[in-house]
Amino acid sequence: MADSFYSQIAANRRNSLLLALLVIALFGALGFSIGFAVTGGPEGALGVMGIAILIGSLTAVASYFGGASLVLSVSGAKEVDETSAPQLMNVVREMAIASNIPMPKVYVIDDSAPNAFATGRDPKHASVAITTGLLEKLDREELQGVMGHELSHVRNFDIRFAMIVGVLVGSIALLADFFLRFTFWGGGRSRSNNRDSGGGGLQAIFFVVAIVLSILAPIVARFVQLAVNRQREYLADASSVQLTRNPYGLERALAKISADPEVLEVANRATQHMYFTNPIKKFEERATGLFSTHPAALDRINRLRELTGERPLDGPEAAQLAGLD
């Protein structure tokens, strides 16, 4: 079990890093090609890419310091303490000690749909939010599994990692949109004049490359972002087992939460990636399976079963879980 457990963690971290590097490479290639297409030279290309990086960095700083408070406010989360939620605080404290991180602030969301998320820029400024539905429907072992998962996100700096990738993806979309609008409103005509004069052959090539990348890069980057999110969920599951030494609580929690028909009203497309399981159900109009932010619950459960040497779920039970998310 130990070899399988640590190999899962190593593979998930490696895959996440490779995917993040792919987003960075896309951003660099798009910025350079647009810069060359607009200015006609490598110096201008590097300048445009530098401006794009600066804007992305400023956005990242704003998200870094203000993102957690905004998400908690939008979710209607209320802070609790030892008096108002003694068992929850006890479980979170246990998992914080096991994770070797400071005790996070604990919030409760008044919603009957069972779910939870973690937020904050680092372990010293972390918060966890839990719905009342999760507290009512899960037993203590299952709650430990979920809290171990969420505090693993904190310990592994997944929130910061996801924020960096998200800002890069957003910057790619903004840069591509700016260039396409610039081209549509006449920016391309000046490029054509340069080509006619005989000095813009290379610039014309970069102009075509920039248009193609402006169309494809945001789509590819979004898929990569979703893949990163899914890898970090697998990593947090494995890390939760490391903390609790009990894969069964987490496995049961995944099955219960995924099978629950309640809709989490406070969740939206901007925050859905943060939750323990995808809060937007398949049967909802706002659901888009193509852009799923989480691995399927069945896949997560079967990975946990691999750690204990149990056979994967199959038959009617597996079919039921597969049809939910």
Q: What is the DSSP string of 284-300?
A: STT--GGG-SS--HHHH
Q: How confident is the model at residue 323 (pLDDT cuts 50, 70, 90)?
A: low
Six token digits for residue 150: 């969420």
Q: What pLDDT is recorded for position 130?
A: 97
The stretch 274-300 carries a mean pLDDT of 74
Residue 300's contacts (CB-CB under 8 Å, 6 or more residues apart) are 233, 234, 237, 254
Residues 124, 128: Cα–Cα separation, whole Å: 12
Helix 158-182 and helix 42-74, axial crossing angle in degrees, nearest 10: 130
Residues 250, 237: Cα–Cα separation, whole Å: 8
- Of 74-78, 145-149, 310-314, which range is least confident? 310-314
| 289 pLDDT above the threshold of 60 | no
Residues 53, 203: Cα–Cα separation, whole Å: 22
Q: How confident is the model at residue 52 (pLDDT cuts 50, 70, 90)?
A: confident
Q: What percent of the chain has pLDDT over 70?
A: 83
Q: CB of 307 within 8 A of CB of 247?
A: yes
Q: What pLDDT is recorded for position 320?
A: 62
Chain segment 229-258, per-residue pLDDT in tens: 888 899 899 999 989 999 999 999 999 998
The stretch 209-238 carries a mean pLDDT of 88
**Catalytic residues, which ones?**
150
Helix 188-196 and helix 201-244, axial crossing angle in degrees, nearest 10: 130
Q: What pLDDT is recorded for position 152?
A: 94
Six token digits for residue 239: 């890390």
The stretch 183-211 carries a mean pLDDT of 66
Q: Which of 19, 78, 7, 12 is nearest to 226 (CA)?
A: 19
Please report, for the chain, how many H helices and E strands are present, in that order: 11, 4
Q: What pLDDT is recorded for position 64?
A: 67
Q: CB of 298 within 8 A of CB of 322?
A: yes
Q: CB of 281 within 8 A of CB of 263?
A: yes
Q: What pLDDT is recorded for position 189?
A: 46
Domain ranges of the chain: 12-66+160-219
Q: What pLDDT is recorded for position 127?
A: 94
Q: How confident is the model at residue 98 (pLDDT cuts 50, 70, 90)?
A: very high
Q: For residue 179, give the amino acid letter.
A: F
Chain segment 189-199, per-residue pLDDT in tens: 444 444 444 44
